[in-house]
Amino acid sequence: MQGGYEDLIIVGINQVGFKGRRSKEMDNQVQSRGQKELQEQVINAHLCVGCGACAYLCPYQVIYKDQTIVLHDCDLAEGRCYAFCPRTSTDYDAIRKALFDEEDLTLELGPIKGFYIVRAAGEVNRANAQHGGTVSALMALALEEGLIDAAIVAEGEDNFLHHGIAVTEPIDIKKRGKSKFIVSPTVAEFNKIAAGDAKKIGVVATPCQAQAFAKMRMKPIAGKESHIDKLQLVIGLFCGWALSWRKFTDLLRRSTSLESITGMDKPPGTQTVEIFTTNGTIILPVDDINTCIREACHYCIDSTAEFSDISVGSARLPESWEETKTWNQVIVRSERGQTLLELARSKNVLEFRDVPEGNFDELKKAAVEKKKGAIERLREKSGQPNDLIYLDENDPVIKKIMG
């Protein structure tokens, strides 16, 4: 590990996160970057991913039913909401270089220290998991070993809604396995609890949420660090998209009652989505689901949570989906992630198996596909080939993808 995150502050303050398109216009005039701009550039522009980075920092932004709501206007010229939001103009290359070992950086998948196929050891530890239970197992281990003293995971509510919840007991992690395909505003929960007693916090984050945490780690507003130093571990989830609650529940209500749903999954390589209910599995065509995808997800270039310590997704194996789905693919990105994974290996918390030939390339290919699609749609949205709205067209990753 490169020392603590504290060391990065020096590089981080103010500029690093905010190069890019908008800063060029700002050369001559001071442009404010507060709630008003957040609302114009992100929320009203349908770029908001509902991560919650802007929420509960102040009384103005809150999350309600997977939507980021601005309750009242704030007229500050500079605010944490704008600074932390992963969809305001951001120089992600600078953040990447500041937070990770430069030699680990790849254009397609972000920083990589290692790539593994693993799962939680013991079937009972996978019983309540989405796939191999790796995320839950690693998070529980971090708590047990005192690497963190609180973990934020996603908690289901009635009506298919979710919120972030901070837990301190390993058993409470395992109870909250399974993927929630409607946004769970994890960063908002971090904002809520970070001011409290917890000293070392770990989070399970989707890629956009991991981006928000990365921006927060850059401490863009001096004196307003929002306790980000308490963030000690980010376990990222691979992510293709998340769904809009209102659209998706309207769709589900047509085939089943919301109360009967126990989970869902999208088997890779198929054109279907499985909805698990108390009365069996319902198969929906992916085209139906596509109409429910949050618009903001279409503009996301990250499929593997590149800004986390360790990222976890479903595995691709030659075996049947029934078997495959009990395994995870894992990318270790930081020293901290590496340490945790090695600890899991030595404590037999995880089972490892060989990575099949070609797996890594496939993952890369899928990652590039997502990036390409997002860049295309951002260009379409802005109407300019070089205007990627929140992304910097000079970012080497973007340059490479744009050709």
Partner 1 sequence: MSKLIDENEGAQYLYMGNEAIARGALEAGISLASGYPGTPSSEIIENLAKVAGERNLYVEWSTNEKVAMEVAAAASFAQLRSLCVMKQNGVNVASDFLLHLAGSGTRGGMVLVTCDDPGALSSVNEGESRHFFRMVEVPLLEPGDFQEAKDMTKWAFELSEELRSLVAVRSVTRMSHASGNVKIGKLPSTDKQAEFRYSGFILDPMEGIVGSAPVAFRHAEQQEKIKKVREIFEDCPFNTYEGPEKPDLLVITSSACTLYSREAINLLGLQDRVGLLKIGTTWPLPPRLLTKYLSLTDRILIVEEVLPFLEDNVKIIAAEQAKAIGVKTFYGKNNGTIPTAGEMNPDHVVAAFCKILNIEYVTMSSEYEQRAQLLGFTLVPNREQTFCPGCPHRASFWSIHNALQLDNRKGFVCGDIGCYTMAMLPTGFSTLKTVHSMGSGTGIASGFGKLGPFGMDQPVLSVCGDSTFYHAAMPALVNAVHHKSNIIMIVLDNSGTAMTGFQPHPGLAVSAMGDEVPAIDVAKICEAVGARVEVRDPFNLKETPDTLLELMEDQEGAKVLILRQKCALSPERKAKKYFEMQVDEERCIGEECGCNRLCTRILRCPGLFWDKEKKTARIDEVLCAGCGVCSYICPEEAIIRKEVA
Ligand X SMILES: Cc1cc2nc3c(=O)[nH]c(=O)nc-3n(C[C@H](O)[C@H](O)[C@H](O)COP(=O)(O)OP(=O)(O)OC[C@H]3O[C@@H](n4cnc5c(N)ncnc54)[C@H](O)[C@@H]3O)c2cc1C
Q: Which backbone phi and psi does 322 adopt, to 5 degrees? A: -55, -40
The number of beta carbons lying within 10 Å of the beta carbon of residue 156 is: 18
- Report 299-318 residues binding partner 1 (CB under 8 A): none
Residue 298's contacts (CB-CB under 8 Å, 6 or more residues apart) are: 241, 373, 374, 377
181: contact with ligand X by CB under 6 A? yes
Question: Residue from 100, 238, 299, 327 that binds ligand X (CB under 6 A)?
Answer: 238
Radius of gyration over every alpha carbon of the chain, rounded to an integer in angstroms: 20
Q: How far is the CB of 17 from ligand SF4 (least distance, A)?
A: 13
User: Tokens for 401?
Assistant: 């993808």
Q: Bin 274: left if φ > 0, else alpha if -120 < ψ < 50, else beta.
A: beta
Identify whether the C-beta of residue 396 lies closer than 8 Å to the C-beta of residue 96.
no
Residue 182: helix, strand or coil by DSSP? strand
Both structure tokens of 206: 């989707």
Smallest gap from Cβ 5 to partner 1, in A, equals: 21
Residue 178, Ramachandran bin (φ over 0: left; ψ between -120 and 50: alpha; else beta): left
Which of ligand SF4, ligand X, partner 1, none sits in contact with 90, Cβ below 5 to 8 A by type?
none
Which of 188, 185, 395 has its CA nearest to residue 302? 395
The nearest distance, CB 142 to ligand SF4, in angstroms, is 25
- Are the CB atoms for 134 and 340 separated by under 8 Å? no
Q: With binding defined as CB under 6 A, does residue 204 bind ligand X? A: yes
Among 8, 16, 54, 129, binds ligand SF4 (CB under 6 A): 54
Q: Residue 32 in contact with residue 75, Cβ under 8 Å?
A: no
Residues 6+ apart with CB under 8 A from 12: 98, 217, 218, 219, 220
Taking CB under 6 A as the binding criterion, the range among 49-57, 195-203, 263-271, 308-316 that sits at the site for ligand SF4 is 49-57
C-beta of 59 vs 318, nearer to partner 1: 59
Judged by CB under 6 A, does residue 177 bind ligand X? Answer: yes
Q: Could you report how far apart the first and last alpha carbons of the chain are, in Å?
A: 33
Q: Any contact of residue 52 with ligand X (CB under 6 A)?
A: no
Stretch that binds ligand X, among 9-17, 82-90, 285-293, 308-316 (CB under 6 A): 308-316
CA dihedral (85, 89, 94, 99) in degrees, to 10, reads 10
Q: By CB under 6 A, is residue 311 in contact with ligand X?
A: no
**Contact, 273 vs 241, CB < 8 A?**
no
User: Is residue 42 near ligand SF4 by the rule CB under 6 A?
Assistant: yes
Closest CA to 15 of 93, 76, 77: 93
Rounded CA-CA distance 215/86 in Å is: 7
Q: Shortest distance, CB of residue 39 to ligand SF4, whole angstroms? A: 8
Specify which residues 359 forms β-bridges with: none
Selected from 8, 16, 38, 129, the binder of ligand SF4 by CB under 6 A is 38
At residue 350, the 3 state secondary structure works out as strand
Closest approach, Cβ 203 to ligand X, in A, equals 8
- 252 near partner 1, rule: CB under 8 A: no
Nearer to partner 1, 78 or 288 (CB): 78
What is the footprint of partner 1 within residues 192-221 (CB under 8 A)?
A: 221
- Interacting residue with partner 1 among 58, 251, 293, 402 (CB under 8 A): 58
Enumerate residues 199-258 that contact ligand SF4 by CB under 6 A: 212
**Binder among 9, 13, 62, 261 for partner 1 (CB under 8 A):** 62
Answer for which of 12, 20, 52, 236 binds ligand SF4 (CB under 6 A) is: 52
CB of 156 to ligand X, least distance (A): 9
Q: Is 312 a residue that touches ligand X (CB under 6 A)?
A: yes
Measured from the CB of residue 290, what is the shortest distance to ligand X in angstroms? 13
* Closer to ligand SF4 by Cβ: residue 84 or 327: 84
- Distance between CA atoms of residues 188 and 61, nearest Å: 10
**Does residue number 298 form part of the binding site for partner 1 (CB under 8 A)?**
no
Binder among 4, 7, 44, 69 for partner 1 (CB under 8 A):
69
User: How far are the Cα atoms of 20, 364, 373, 390 from residue 387, in angstroms, in the given order?
Assistant: 10, 25, 15, 8
- Residues lying near ligand X in the complex (CB under 6 A): 129-136, 153-154, 176-181, 183-184, 186, 204, 206, 237-240, 242, 312-314, 328
- Residues lying near ligand SF4 in the complex (CB under 6 A): 38, 42-43, 48-54, 68, 84-87, 212
- Residues lying near partner 1 in the complex (CB under 8 A): 57-60, 62, 64-65, 67, 69-76, 78-80, 221, 224
